[in-house]
Structure 1
Amino acid sequence: MLCLTSLSVALAALALVPSISDALKDGDCEVCVSFLGRFYQSLQDNNVKFTSADIEKALVHTCKDAKGKENRFCYYIGGTNDAATKILNEISKPLSYHAPVDKICEKLKKKDSQICELKYSKETNVGPISDDLVSSYLQTAGPEHRGSEEAEGEGIEEDPGGVGRVV
Protein backbone atom coordinates (compact mmCIF):
# COMPACT_ATOMS: atom_id res chain seq x y z
CA MET A 1 0.00 0.00 0.00
CA LEU A 2 2.87 2.33 0.81
CA CYS A 3 4.39 1.59 -2.61
CA LEU A 4 1.12 2.49 -4.36
CA THR A 5 0.84 5.77 -2.44
CA SER A 6 4.44 6.74 -3.28
CA LEU A 7 3.81 5.97 -6.91
CA SER A 8 0.68 8.14 -7.06
CA VAL A 9 2.51 11.03 -5.34
CA ALA A 10 5.36 10.74 -7.83
CA LEU A 11 2.96 10.73 -10.78
CA ALA A 12 1.10 13.75 -9.41
CA ALA A 13 4.37 15.64 -8.97
CA LEU A 14 5.41 14.73 -12.51
CA ALA A 15 2.12 16.03 -13.86
CA LEU A 16 2.78 19.42 -12.25
CA VAL A 17 6.15 19.83 -13.97
CA PRO A 18 5.69 21.56 -17.32
CA SER A 19 6.73 19.40 -20.23
CA ILE A 20 9.33 20.46 -22.73
CA SER A 21 6.75 20.38 -25.51
CA ASP A 22 4.75 23.12 -23.76
CA ALA A 23 7.68 25.54 -23.93
CA LEU A 24 7.68 27.96 -26.84
CA LYS A 25 10.23 27.47 -29.57
CA ASP A 26 11.88 30.31 -31.48
CA GLY A 27 9.28 31.94 -33.69
CA ASP A 28 6.32 30.43 -31.83
CA CYS A 29 3.67 32.95 -30.81
CA GLU A 30 5.55 35.69 -32.64
CA VAL A 31 2.72 38.23 -32.57
CA CYS A 32 1.71 37.39 -28.98
CA VAL A 33 5.22 37.71 -27.54
CA SER A 34 5.99 40.88 -29.50
CA PHE A 35 2.68 42.62 -28.79
CA LEU A 36 2.58 41.73 -25.09
CA GLY A 37 6.26 42.61 -24.69
CA ARG A 38 5.68 46.11 -26.07
CA PHE A 39 2.46 46.40 -24.07
CA TYR A 40 4.22 45.45 -20.83
CA GLN A 41 6.99 47.98 -21.55
CA SER A 42 4.41 50.71 -22.21
CA LEU A 43 2.73 49.93 -18.88
CA GLN A 44 6.04 50.41 -17.11
CA ASP A 45 6.89 53.56 -19.07
CA ASN A 46 3.51 55.13 -18.28
CA ASN A 47 3.61 54.16 -14.59
CA VAL A 48 0.35 52.24 -14.78
CA LYS A 49 -0.67 50.47 -11.57
CA PHE A 50 -0.13 46.77 -12.01
CA THR A 51 -3.62 45.72 -10.99
CA SER A 52 -5.61 43.33 -13.11
CA ALA A 53 -8.38 45.88 -13.75
CA ASP A 54 -6.01 48.67 -14.81
CA ILE A 55 -4.09 46.32 -17.09
CA GLU A 56 -7.32 45.15 -18.75
CA LYS A 57 -8.41 48.76 -19.40
CA ALA A 58 -5.02 49.60 -20.88
CA LEU A 59 -5.07 46.43 -23.00
CA VAL A 60 -8.49 47.21 -24.47
CA HIS A 61 -7.33 50.78 -25.16
CA THR A 62 -4.17 49.50 -26.87
CA CYS A 63 -6.18 47.02 -28.92
CA LYS A 64 -8.32 49.84 -30.35
CA ASP A 65 -5.24 51.10 -32.24
CA ALA A 66 -3.95 47.67 -33.28
CA LYS A 67 -3.71 46.88 -36.99
CA GLY A 68 -3.15 43.74 -39.03
CA LYS A 69 -2.03 40.63 -37.16
CA GLU A 70 -2.04 42.48 -33.84
CA ASN A 71 -5.69 43.36 -34.35
CA ARG A 72 -6.39 39.68 -35.03
CA PHE A 73 -4.53 38.82 -31.80
CA CYS A 74 -6.68 41.34 -29.92
CA TYR A 75 -9.78 39.74 -31.45
CA TYR A 76 -8.70 36.29 -30.22
CA ILE A 77 -8.14 37.52 -26.65
CA GLY A 78 -11.32 39.61 -26.53
CA GLY A 79 -9.74 43.04 -26.79
CA THR A 80 -11.97 44.18 -29.65
CA ASN A 81 -15.65 45.09 -29.59
CA ASP A 82 -16.62 42.33 -32.01
CA ALA A 83 -14.79 39.51 -30.18
CA ALA A 84 -16.87 36.47 -29.33
CA THR A 85 -14.88 35.45 -26.24
CA LYS A 86 -12.96 37.35 -23.60
CA ILE A 87 -9.83 35.90 -22.07
CA LEU A 88 -8.28 39.22 -21.12
CA ASN A 89 -7.95 38.06 -17.52
CA GLU A 90 -5.56 35.34 -18.76
CA ILE A 91 -3.22 38.22 -19.63
CA SER A 92 -4.01 40.88 -17.05
CA LYS A 93 -3.71 38.67 -13.99
CA PRO A 94 -0.24 37.23 -14.80
CA LEU A 95 1.00 40.66 -15.95
CA SER A 96 -0.14 42.13 -12.63
CA TYR A 97 2.52 40.06 -10.90
CA HIS A 98 5.07 40.61 -13.71
CA ALA A 99 5.01 37.13 -15.24
CA PRO A 100 7.16 36.82 -18.38
CA VAL A 101 5.21 37.37 -21.59
CA ASP A 102 6.45 34.14 -23.17
CA LYS A 103 4.94 32.19 -20.28
CA ILE A 104 1.67 34.07 -20.70
CA CYS A 105 1.66 33.22 -24.40
CA GLU A 106 2.29 29.55 -23.56
CA LYS A 107 -0.85 29.54 -21.42
CA LEU A 108 -2.82 31.39 -24.11
CA LYS A 109 -1.72 28.78 -26.64
CA LYS A 110 -3.38 26.11 -24.50
CA LYS A 111 -6.62 28.14 -24.44
CA ASP A 112 -6.65 28.99 -28.15
CA SER A 113 -4.00 27.59 -30.48
CA GLN A 114 -4.84 30.21 -33.16
CA ILE A 115 -3.12 32.83 -31.01
CA CYS A 116 0.27 31.28 -31.60
CA GLU A 117 -0.33 30.63 -35.27
CA LEU A 118 -0.26 34.38 -35.99
CA LYS A 119 2.93 35.50 -37.72
CA TYR A 120 3.99 38.89 -39.03
CA SER A 121 4.15 38.98 -42.81
CA LYS A 122 7.67 39.28 -44.13
CA GLU A 123 8.12 42.37 -46.27
CA THR A 124 10.31 42.01 -49.30
CA ASN A 125 11.96 45.05 -50.76
CA VAL A 126 12.29 44.55 -54.47
CA GLY A 127 13.68 48.02 -55.04
CA PRO A 128 13.29 50.17 -58.13
CA ILE A 129 13.44 48.59 -61.56
CA SER A 130 16.36 49.91 -63.53
CA ASP A 131 16.16 51.01 -67.16
CA ASP A 132 18.90 48.50 -68.00
CA LEU A 133 16.77 45.64 -66.70
CA VAL A 134 13.76 46.74 -68.75
CA SER A 135 15.76 47.26 -71.96
CA SER A 136 17.53 43.90 -71.58
CA TYR A 137 14.15 42.22 -71.16
CA LEU A 138 12.74 43.94 -74.25
CA GLN A 139 15.77 42.86 -76.28
CA THR A 140 15.42 39.21 -75.27
CA ALA A 141 11.62 39.01 -75.32
CA GLY A 142 10.04 37.58 -78.38
CA PRO A 143 7.46 39.44 -80.42
CA GLU A 144 4.63 37.77 -78.48
CA HIS A 145 5.79 39.65 -75.33
CA ARG A 146 6.59 42.93 -77.02
CA GLY A 147 3.39 43.25 -78.95
CA SER A 148 2.92 44.21 -82.53
CA GLU A 149 2.48 47.81 -83.59
CA GLU A 150 0.25 46.72 -86.41
CA ALA A 151 -2.08 44.82 -84.08
CA GLU A 152 -5.38 46.70 -84.13
CA GLY A 153 -3.68 50.04 -84.62
CA GLU A 154 -2.01 49.95 -81.24
CA GLY A 155 1.60 50.86 -80.75
CA ILE A 156 3.97 52.44 -78.34
CA GLU A 157 4.52 56.12 -78.66
CA GLU A 158 7.39 57.72 -76.81
CA ASP A 159 6.86 61.15 -75.26
CA PRO A 160 9.65 63.74 -74.88
CA GLY A 161 10.46 62.50 -71.36
CA GLY A 162 11.47 59.10 -72.73
CA VAL A 163 8.50 57.25 -71.22
CA GLY A 164 6.53 55.00 -73.53
CA ARG A 165 2.76 54.97 -73.54
CA VAL A 166 0.32 52.70 -75.30
CA VAL A 167 -1.83 54.40 -77.91
Structure 2
Amino acid sequence: MAEQAMWYVVHTYSGYENKVAQNLETIVANRRLQDLIHEVKVPVMMEPEIKDGKERMVERKIFPGYVLVKMVMTDESWYIVRNCRGVTGFVGPSSKPVPLSQAEVDKLGVETVAEPTVDYEVGDNVEINAGPLEGFVGLVEEIDMEHRKVRVKVSMFGRETPAELELDQVKPL
Protein backbone atom coordinates (compact mmCIF):
# COMPACT_ATOMS: atom_id res chain seq x y z
CA MET A 1 0.00 0.00 0.00
CA ALA A 2 1.61 3.23 -1.19
CA GLU A 3 -0.76 5.57 0.64
CA GLN A 4 0.44 7.16 3.83
CA ALA A 5 -1.60 7.27 7.02
CA MET A 6 -2.91 10.75 7.83
CA TRP A 7 -4.77 12.22 10.81
CA TYR A 8 -8.49 12.81 10.30
CA VAL A 9 -11.01 14.46 12.63
CA VAL A 10 -14.18 12.47 13.33
CA HIS A 11 -17.29 14.14 14.78
CA THR A 12 -19.07 12.18 17.52
CA TYR A 13 -22.07 12.58 19.76
CA SER A 14 -21.11 14.72 22.72
CA GLY A 15 -19.88 12.57 25.61
CA TYR A 16 -19.28 9.56 23.34
CA GLU A 17 -15.64 10.37 22.48
CA ASN A 18 -14.07 7.67 24.68
CA LYS A 19 -16.71 5.09 23.68
CA VAL A 20 -16.12 5.79 19.97
CA ALA A 21 -12.34 5.50 20.44
CA GLN A 22 -12.78 2.22 22.35
CA ASN A 23 -15.21 0.82 19.73
CA LEU A 24 -12.86 1.72 16.86
CA GLU A 25 -9.87 0.12 18.60
CA THR A 26 -11.93 -3.05 19.21
CA ILE A 27 -13.06 -3.21 15.57
CA VAL A 28 -9.49 -2.67 14.33
CA ALA A 29 -8.18 -5.44 16.61
CA ASN A 30 -10.97 -7.89 15.75
CA ARG A 31 -10.73 -7.37 11.98
CA ARG A 32 -6.93 -7.05 11.99
CA LEU A 33 -7.00 -3.63 10.31
CA GLN A 34 -3.91 -2.18 11.99
CA ASP A 35 -2.43 -1.48 8.54
CA LEU A 36 -5.41 0.78 7.68
CA ILE A 37 -6.31 2.40 11.00
CA HIS A 38 -3.14 3.12 12.99
CA GLU A 39 -4.21 5.23 16.00
CA VAL A 40 -7.31 6.63 17.65
CA LYS A 41 -6.99 9.53 20.11
CA VAL A 42 -9.24 11.65 22.28
CA PRO A 43 -7.12 14.76 22.98
CA VAL A 44 -7.22 15.59 26.71
CA MET A 45 -5.33 17.86 29.08
CA MET A 46 -4.94 17.84 32.83
CA GLU A 47 -6.38 20.87 34.64
CA PRO A 48 -6.36 21.74 38.34
CA GLU A 49 -9.81 21.83 39.92
CA ILE A 50 -10.62 23.09 43.39
CA LYS A 51 -13.52 21.27 45.02
CA ASP A 52 -14.41 21.29 48.73
CA GLY A 53 -11.24 23.31 49.41
CA LYS A 54 -9.00 20.62 47.86
CA GLU A 55 -7.12 20.99 44.61
CA ARG A 56 -6.91 17.98 42.33
CA MET A 57 -6.03 17.37 38.69
CA VAL A 58 -8.90 16.49 36.35
CA GLU A 59 -8.83 15.33 32.77
CA ARG A 60 -10.63 17.68 30.35
CA LYS A 61 -11.30 16.98 26.68
CA ILE A 62 -9.61 19.58 24.48
CA PHE A 63 -12.15 19.10 21.65
CA PRO A 64 -15.43 17.79 23.06
CA GLY A 65 -17.35 15.90 20.39
CA TYR A 66 -14.29 15.03 18.31
CA VAL A 67 -11.92 12.07 18.00
CA LEU A 68 -8.68 12.04 16.00
CA VAL A 69 -7.96 8.99 13.85
CA LYS A 70 -4.68 8.24 12.05
CA MET A 71 -5.58 6.08 9.08
CA VAL A 72 -5.01 5.28 5.43
CA MET A 73 -8.15 6.55 3.68
CA THR A 74 -9.75 3.74 1.68
CA ASP A 75 -13.39 2.89 1.06
CA GLU A 76 -13.11 0.16 3.70
CA SER A 77 -11.49 2.32 6.40
CA TRP A 78 -13.92 5.19 5.68
CA TYR A 79 -16.89 2.83 5.98
CA ILE A 80 -15.66 1.30 9.26
CA VAL A 81 -15.07 4.69 10.94
CA ARG A 82 -18.19 6.34 9.48
CA ASN A 83 -20.46 3.49 10.65
CA CYS A 84 -19.00 3.12 14.14
CA ARG A 85 -21.66 3.66 16.84
CA GLY A 86 -21.55 7.27 18.08
CA VAL A 87 -19.86 8.72 14.96
CA THR A 88 -21.81 11.42 13.11
CA GLY A 89 -19.25 11.90 10.33
CA PHE A 90 -15.85 13.14 9.27
CA VAL A 91 -14.89 16.81 9.44
CA GLY A 92 -14.63 18.27 5.95
CA PRO A 93 -16.79 19.83 3.22
CA SER A 94 -19.92 17.75 2.49
CA SER A 95 -18.57 14.96 4.74
CA LYS A 96 -15.56 14.44 2.47
CA PRO A 97 -12.76 13.74 4.96
CA VAL A 98 -9.92 16.25 4.87
CA PRO A 99 -6.66 15.16 6.56
CA LEU A 100 -4.94 17.46 9.05
CA SER A 101 -1.83 19.16 7.69
CA GLN A 102 1.51 18.43 9.34
CA ALA A 103 1.46 21.95 10.83
CA GLU A 104 -1.95 21.25 12.41
CA VAL A 105 -0.76 17.91 13.76
CA ASP A 106 2.30 19.61 15.30
CA LYS A 107 0.21 22.44 16.76
CA LEU A 108 -2.32 20.04 18.31
CA GLY A 109 0.48 17.94 19.79
CA VAL A 110 -1.26 14.80 18.55
CA GLU A 111 1.83 12.76 17.83
CA THR A 112 3.71 11.95 20.98
CA VAL A 113 7.08 13.55 21.50
CA ALA A 114 9.96 11.14 21.91
CA GLU A 115 10.96 10.27 25.45
CA PRO A 116 13.74 12.49 26.76
CA THR A 117 17.11 10.82 27.07
CA VAL A 118 19.15 11.15 30.23
CA ASP A 119 22.82 10.31 30.65
CA TYR A 120 22.48 9.03 34.22
CA GLU A 121 20.71 6.09 35.80
CA VAL A 122 19.49 4.84 39.19
CA GLY A 123 22.47 4.55 41.55
CA ASP A 124 24.54 7.28 39.85
CA ASN A 125 25.81 10.37 41.66
CA VAL A 126 24.54 13.60 40.11
CA GLU A 127 25.01 17.30 40.68
CA ILE A 128 21.94 19.50 40.96
CA ASN A 129 22.35 22.43 38.54
CA ALA A 130 19.11 24.38 39.11
CA GLY A 131 16.63 25.24 41.84
CA PRO A 132 17.08 25.75 45.59
CA LEU A 133 19.42 22.74 45.90
CA GLU A 134 21.78 23.96 43.16
CA GLY A 135 25.36 22.86 43.78
CA PHE A 136 24.42 19.86 45.97
CA VAL A 137 25.38 16.33 45.00
CA GLY A 138 22.93 13.47 45.33
CA LEU A 139 22.26 9.82 44.51
CA VAL A 140 19.61 8.98 41.89
CA GLU A 141 16.91 6.78 43.47
CA GLU A 142 14.25 6.78 40.76
CA ILE A 143 13.73 8.14 37.24
CA ASP A 144 10.12 8.78 36.17
CA MET A 145 10.15 9.38 32.40
CA GLU A 146 6.35 9.70 32.16
CA HIS A 147 6.26 12.70 34.50
CA ARG A 148 9.80 13.82 33.53
CA LYS A 149 11.00 13.75 37.13
CA VAL A 150 13.98 12.28 38.95
CA ARG A 151 14.10 11.45 42.67
CA VAL A 152 17.48 12.19 44.22
CA LYS A 153 18.70 11.56 47.77
CA VAL A 154 20.75 14.57 48.87
CA SER A 155 23.01 14.61 51.94
CA MET A 156 22.36 17.86 53.82
CA PHE A 157 23.43 18.69 57.38
CA GLY A 158 24.35 15.06 58.01
CA ARG A 159 20.91 13.77 56.90
CA GLU A 160 19.70 12.05 53.75
CA THR A 161 16.94 14.19 52.22
CA PRO A 162 14.87 13.06 49.22
CA ALA A 163 14.25 15.64 46.49
CA GLU A 164 12.09 15.37 43.39
CA LEU A 165 13.48 17.37 40.48
CA GLU A 166 12.92 17.87 36.76
CA LEU A 167 15.09 15.65 34.53
CA ASP A 168 17.10 18.63 33.31
CA GLN A 169 17.84 19.96 36.83
CA VAL A 170 20.56 17.35 37.39
CA LYS A 171 23.71 16.33 35.51
CA PRO A 172 26.00 13.33 35.99
CA LEU A 173 29.25 13.77 37.87
Higher helix share: 1
With the length of structure 1 as denominator, give the TM-score of the two structures: 0.26
Higher strand share: 2
Give 1 or 2 for the bigger CA radius of gyration. Answer: 1
With the length of structure 2 as denominator, give the TM-score of the two structures: 0.25
